[in-house]
Chains A and B, each alone.
Chain A
Amino acid sequence: MINSSSDNVKKLNSINRRMFITGSLKFFIMVGIISRLFFLQVKENKKYLTLSDKNRIREWKLAPVRGEFHDYFGNVIAGNFEAYQLHVIPEQVENFKYVIYRLKDLLELSDTEFKKVLKKKKEIKPWETLIVSNNLSWDKFSKINNHLYDLNGVKPVISISRNYPFNENFTHIIGYVSQANEQDIENTELIKKNFVPGLKVGKIGLEKSFEEKLIGTNDIERYEVNAYGRRISQLEFQKGKKGQTLKLTVDTEIQKLANELLKEKAGSICVMDIFTGEVIAMHSSPSFNPNLFVFGISQDNWQIIRNDPMKPLLNKTLQGRYSPGSTLKPIVALSALENGIINTNFTVRCTGKTELYDQTYHCWKEEGHGYVSLRNAMKMSCDTYFYEIARKLGVDKLSETAKKFGLGKKVFDNLFEIEKDGLIPNTQWKKNALGKGWLLGETIITGIGQGYIQTTPIQLCLMTAQIANGGYKIYPKIIIDDKDKMKPDDYYTPLYKNSRNIRIIQDAMFGSTNEVMGTSYRSRIDNPKYQFAGKTGTAQVKKITERERELDLKTSEIPYEQRDHALYIAYGPYVNPRYALSIVVEHGGNGSTTAAPMAKKLFKLIIDRHQMRQSINEKKYLEI
């Protein structure tokens, strides 16, 4: 008993000692846990609070509303319309298979479209929106609405999308929008910033050039989401800004007329205010409907546009490089006058052809013009006369004058990325580009706008405008900028050495249109209100062989690709001129028969609308 009790005491001592050790250990561990809690919850609280918010708050961006394009009179030429769309949230549909087949019937979806929808469904989460159709007709939209009782989880939605009410009329000016691709996102910071799936951005034309002004900013929705990304509740809605609306200098009525005149033809018409440089119309034909691209163009439509031999995708006004033909003659004559090579009395005898440097150069009139002075040579477009003055002038002096008047250089700088420079050749150029010396024969044909020389229709228009305004420099524009940009220093500086020379050219152009024997006499308007002055041009596409010259075929008898381009430049009214234009009809045959009559119709409308245009201007100033 004693033994056992002393053992008990020892055992108690042992257990109590060990309890003490354990207790101390527990104390330290507790301190450790509490300090860990302190570290996480007090010291690092901010960091974890941010992480927790990052977990639970997610932003949704909605597509921004794109700015519009208006014409000079405020008509919407690229606007936004309400697209009828059909959304389905798969999770909310009890019997997805039934509903989707029902929709297929109602919308008359083709098998490929239907497969696309099913594929899209597989890619999204069940609570995300499946867009079954993004642009329904009103008929189908109302049909769906009538069947909604049967279609649980199907949501008819009205969303905002791009619309071009004038279809093909403005395509080559404003371009079109379509879904942003990776390249668009990479290249433009603002697209990256505002990107949402399905965002449409400008692909070409002004839609592309002014992307950053047009795009606007997103509406932003902030939602609390759970771990699986499902929206639980909306926390915030931040309204975005609509993109800036851009006003163009273009007159829709004239643009429409230009489109009509060039219907079924390939070519370009542009009209310009000779003082302000405002582009009144700028059309390249054939055009295409930009609305086709908004929701993605179908393969069939794309092939039709792409394979059209008249090349609708080419903007002929800015990209088309044509030999100016006889429309260059005013510049050749002006250059000769300015450089003192000739005076108004200089006369050349035209016999229909001349032999120079062992080559025969033909005038368009086989029997010749006889003795011609400068004015008559311009009026009748005598080639022999211009061969002669070009020979005397030399290509370098000619190119200097041509460049001064806007040829061979982009008219809109970088506004349209597709715009081409064209080419005004000189001896230096040939040496650098081709590594050969300039031949005198080349100067001769340059004098009638053939050979290496290439100009775009917009350059011809600018050239005409600067002759019409008395020889002063202008800068064409197509956007009305409210914050009038600082005008360049050389704005409206004289381009001539002697203003008399300009008047001589103007007078010769008047004769060409309004006097008997003038090449565009048949297209004249006698009423001084509409009277205009112009110069025809016929640009050869290929060298005419001797055999062909003998055959003397009519235009309709020559294959389309080999017919001459028809050109016409003009300005009007002759007294107090205001507008200049250039017309190019590809393979149109003859400038005087194809292009000049168009000018007649155009000037009638342009001048009729002049008063209206002025009144808008006055109103603008009154408002200020």
Chain B
Amino acid sequence: MYQHTRLTNNNFTFFQKFRNFDYILLICILLLGFISLATMYSTDGGKILFHTKSHFIKLMIFTMMMLFISFINIKFWFSIGYLSYLGVVGLLVWTYFFGITSSGSQRWMNLYFINLQPSELMKIFIILCLAKYFHRMKLENVNSVYTILTSLIIILLPMGLVIVQPDLGTSVLIAVSGIAVLWFAGINHKYFIYTMLGFVISLPFVIAFLKPYQKLRVLTFLNPDKDPLGAGYQIIQSKIAVGSGGIFGKGFLKGTQSYLEFLPEKHTDFIFTLFSEEFGFVGSVVLLVIYIIIIYRIIAIGANSRSYFAKLFCYGFGAAIFVFITINMSMVLGLLPIVGSPLPIMSYGGSSMLATMIGFGIVMSARVHSQQLIA
């Protein structure tokens, strides 16, 4: 009993908490931040312009915030699991009615100092919510109809709110985040297989219901050379940029494809293309390795956490980050159709970075409070 109290003692001093940090993860995140800053500098044409400045400020603020979150006990994050989820759902509803419309999609809310995209936050808070939901559940109850239905509602509600914006890409990523948690929570693998089969079978019908621009994206993905100056332009130019990079790349600030504006969306979704053009195969692999280390550390932290909630969150978040990265890269390398999905930390965009940093912060908090039990 004594031992138990000692271990559950959550009154660590500040320095103890500091010692518990996962420095490898921290260094990797800072490294990634630095790389993203350099790449952003390159997209601005080798000058410190709007994107670089803005990205730098956001990086500083959100890194600070991540560190701050790390010091907050994991118990706190457990306690606000449902509340934060409902909060973000509320923001999505608010966006639905009062959001800012840009390039045909109403996904932002104006907070005066920043335009927030609640759907990006949902990618993290859905993990938090579901991790809490499954935390105390007995394994035999996990596969009950009631549980499955509840968790499906938790996933489908924000998905629906994001689809109507319309933003198919983000809603899929939200779903992926949620499903990852369901998978780790132990829902019978048969359901996943059935869902997958059902999805494949219904795919043609889904495509029939897609909006014309989405249909075009799918068709373009299947044959980008059909219309090289129109719909296929992005994929073709992106492949040219990556391919022309070669083994060692064209050199920092020397990516002609982006510098001469052949590359679309180079600040956001196609940032990896620019990086890959300038730093080549070697640079791309290095970047991938950094991401892999980050994901590995997240999983390791999960594995070493005593509480099931922390474990579930870390595993879920690790899987989600992995999916975000692979979807983005596959897209720019021409392996998947173009769906709007940013590369975590690298891409320009405050909401995505905010969400990712919150996730990192909670993971770090789980590490700092790895011995914390949650009743």
Nearest chain B CB to A31's CB is how many angstroms away? Answer: 11
Most buried by A among B139, B242, B284: B139
The answer to whether A23 and B299 touch across the interface, beta carbons within 8 angstroms, is yes
Q: Which residue of B lies closest to A40 (CB)?
A: B243
Is A10's beta carbon under 8 Å from chain B? yes
A7 to B141, CA, bound (A): 11
Q: How far is the CA of A227 from the CA of B335 in the complex (A)?
A: 24
Cβ–Cβ contact A15 & B138, under 8 A: no
How far is A611 from B256 in the complex, measured between Cα atoms in Å?
68
CB <8 Å contact, B284 and A228? no
Query: With A8-B308, A26-B295, A45-B246 as given contacts, are A36 and B333 in contact (CB-CB < 8 Å)?
Result: yes
Which residues from A are CB-within-8-Å of B172? none
A22 to B262, CA, bound (A): 37
Cβ proximity bits B261-301 to A, threshold 8 Å, 1 near / 0 not: 11000000000000010001100110010001001000100
Cα(A11)–Cα(B237), bound, Å: 48
Partner of A41, one of B284, B288, B311, B312: B284
In the complex the two chains form, what is the Cα distance from A16 to B292 in whole Å? Answer: 19
6 contacts between A and B (CB under 8 A): A14-B186, A45-B243, A45-B246, A51-B244, A55-B256, A227-B261
Q: Which residues of A contact B260 (CB under 8 A)?
A: 55-56, 224-227, 232
Which residue of chain B is the closest to A11 with respect to CB atoms? B139
Return the contact of A52 from the options B247, B256, B276 (Cβ within 8 A): B256
Stretch among B78-86, B193-201, B322-330 lining the A interface = B322-330
Q: Known: A19-B315, A228-B261. Contact between A14 and B247, CB under 8 A?
A: no
Q: Are A30 and B288 in contact (CB under 8 A)?
A: yes
B183: interface (CB < 8 Å):
yes
**Tally of chain B residues near chain A (CB < 8 A):** 43
Check if A616 is an interface residue, CB within 8 A of chain B.
no
Shortest distance between the CB of A37 and any CB in chain B (Å): 5
Main SS of the interface on chain A? Answer: helix
Contact with A along B111-127 (1 / 0, CB 8 A): 00000000000000000
Contacts of A8 in B (CB 8 A): 308
Q: Is A55's CB under 8 angstroms from B288's CB?
A: no
The 5 nearest A-B residue pairs measured at CB? A48-B243, A52-B244, A226-B260, A41-B281, A227-B261
B240 x A48 contact (CB < 8 A)? yes
In the complex, are the beta carbons of B186 and A11 less than 8 A apart?
yes
- Is B245 an interface residue when CB atoms closer than 8 A count as contact? yes
Cβ–Cβ contact B262 & A56, under 8 A: yes
| Inter-chain contact A48/B242, CB cutoff 8 Å | yes
Q: Which of A11, A16, A45, A55 contacts B262 (CB 8 A)?
A: A55
CB–CB B183/A45 < 8 A: no
- The answer to the question of A356 belonging to the interface, with a C-beta cut-off of 8 Å to chain B, is no
- Chain B: which residue is nearest A228 at the CB level? B261
Within 8 A of A (CB), among B123-161: 138-139
Are the CB atoms of B239 and A7 closer together than 8 Å?
Answer: no
Please give the distance in Å from A518's CB to the nearest CB on chain B: 82
Q: Is B56 an interface residue (CB 8 A)?
A: no
Contacts of A55 in B (CB 8 A): 237, 240, 256-257, 260, 262
A33, B333: Cβ atoms closer than 8 Å:
yes
Q: How far is the CB of B337 from chain A (nearest CB, A)?
A: 15
State in angstroms the CA–CA spacing of A226 and B259 once bound together. 8
Which of B244, B280, B299, B329 has the most C-beta atoms of chain A within 10 angstroms of its own C-beta? Answer: B244
B308 touching A11 by the CB < 8 A rule? yes
Which residues of B sit under 8 angstroms from A41, Cβ to Cβ?
A: 242-243, 245-247, 276, 280-281, 284
Q: B299-310, CB under 8 A of A: which get 1 and which 0?
A: 100110000100
Distance between B33 CB and nearest chain A CB, rounded to angstroms? 22
Does A44 count as interface, using CB distance less than 8 angstroms?
Answer: yes
Known: A26-B295, A37-B276. 16 other contacts (CB 8 A): A15-B312, A18-B186, A22-B183, A22-B184, A29-B326, A30-B288, A37-B281, A41-B247, A41-B281, A42-B246, A44-B243, A45-B244, A51-B244, A224-B256, A226-B260, A227-B261
A36 to B256, CA, bound (A): 22
Contact indicator A52/B240 (Cβ below 8 Å):
yes
A97 interface residue (CB < 8 Å to B): no
Q: How far is the CB of A223 from chain B (nearest CB, A)?
A: 11
- Interface size for A (C-beta < 8 A) is 39
Contact, CB under 8 Å: A26 / B322: yes
User: In chain A, residues 340-376, which have Cβ atoms closer than 8 Å to a Cβ of chain B?
Assistant: none
Q: A42-B281, A226-B260, A232-B260 are in contact. Are A18 and B240 (CB under 8 A)?
A: no
Closest beta carbon of chain A to B366's beta carbon, Å: 14
Is residue B173 contacting chain A, with contact meaning CB distance below 8 A? no
Contacts of A30 in B (CB 8 A): 288, 292, 326
Considering the chains assembled together, what is the distance between the CA atoms of A10 and B143 in angstroms? 14
Given A26-B295, A33-B330, A42-B281, answer yes or no on A7-B139 (Cβ-Cβ < 8 Å): yes
Contact A40 B242 (CB under 8 A): yes
Closest residue of chain B to A38, judged by CB? B281
Say whether A106 faces chain B, with CB atoms less than 8 Å apart. no
Q: How far is the CA of A51 from the CA of B243 in the complex (A)?
A: 9
Separation of A469 and B242 alpha carbons in the complex (Å): 79
Contact mask B170-196 → A, CB, 8 Å, 1/0? 000000000000011110000000000
A227 pairs with B262, CB closer than 8 A: yes
Is the C-beta of A49 less than 8 angstroms from some C-beta in chain B? yes
Instruction: Give Cα distance in the complex from A30 to B319, angstroms.
Output: 13
Q: Which residues of chain A are near B357, meaning CB under 8 Å?
A: none
Q: Name the A residues within 8 Å of B276 (CB-CB).
A: 37, 41
* A22 to B239 alpha-carbon distance, docked (Å): 29
In the complex, whether B364 has a CB less than 8 A from a CB of chain A is no
Q: In the bound complex, how far is the Cα of B295 from the Cα of A49, in angstroms? A: 33
Decide if A148 is an interface residue (CB 8 Å cutoff): no
Q: A42 to B281, alpha carbons, bound, how many Å?
A: 7
Q: Is A34 an interface residue (CB 8 A)?
A: yes
Contacts of B241 in A (CB 8 A): 48, 52
Q: Establish whether residues B184 and A42, one from each chain, have CB atoms under 8 Å apart when the complex forms.
A: no
Q: Which residues of A contact B292 (CB under 8 A)?
A: 30
Q: Is the CB of B239 within 8 A of A48?
A: yes
List CB contacts (< 8 Å) of A285-311 with chain B: none
Interface mask (B316-356 → A, CB under 8 Å = 1, otherwise 0): 00010010001001100101000000000000000000000
What is the minimal beta-carbon distance from A305 to any residue of chain B, in angstroms? 47
A34: B residues at CB distance < 8 A: 285, 288
Contact of B285 with A37 in the complex, beta carbons under 8 Å: yes
Give the residues from 162 to 193 in chain A that come closer than 8 angstroms, CB to CB, to chain B: none
Closest Cβ–Cβ distance, residue A2 to chain B (whole Å): 13
Within the complex, the shortest CB–CB distance from B275 to chain A, in Å, comes to: 11
CA distance A41 to B245 in the complex (A): 6
Cβ of A47 within 8 Å of any chain B Cβ, yes or no, is yes
CA of A55 to CA of B330, assembled, Å: 23
Output the least CB separation between A6 and chain B (Å). 10
Q: Are B183 and A18 in contact (CB under 8 A)?
A: yes
CB-defined contacts of B285 to chain A, threshold 8 Å: 34, 37
B247 contacts A42, C-beta separation under 8 Å: yes
Kindly name the residue among A7, A29, A36, A40 whose own CB sees the greatest number of chain B CB atoms within 10 A. A40
Chain B residues with Cβ below 8 Å from A23 are: 299
A26: B residues at CB distance < 8 A: 295, 319, 322
Given contacts A8-B308, A14-B186, A49-B246, contact A56 B256 (CB under 8 A): yes
